[in-house]
Amino acid sequence: MKRITHQGGSMMAAKIYCRERRKAGCEEKRPRYRVVAVSGADLKVYAKHLRFDEIKKIADEIGAELVLLEGGKGDRRHRDDEA
């Protein structure tokens, strides 16, 4: 998990958690990130996928910390389903 802190490195109450999409490649001109959760702020996100600069700008505007989550790699099935 990678944390990006804005506004001088001070700890803030609001956090935006996002992760990189699985199907979006590096060469594609499509938004590659998805907001997974928001904590400590009244924020509604209507877009399914966003560009990193867009998420960063939103975090700057509301004074939130941006937390990048590492997405799972490989098969999307749960391990419990494999019997």
The count of residues in the chain is 83
Q: What is the DSSP letter of 9?
A: T
Question: How does pLDDT run across 30-81, given as a tens digit for each residue?
Answer: 778 899 999 999 899 999 899 999 999 999 999 999 999 987 665 555 555 5
pTM beyond cutoff 0.85: no
* 62 in Cβ contact with 41 (< 8 Å): yes
Distance CA 24, CA 73 (A): 13
Give the neighbor-by-neighbor strand order of the sheet with 2-4: 2-4, 65-69, 15-20, 33-39
For the beta carbon of residue 58, count every other beta carbon within 10 angstroms.
19
Q: Helix (H, G, I), strand (E, B), or coil: what is residue 53?
A: helix
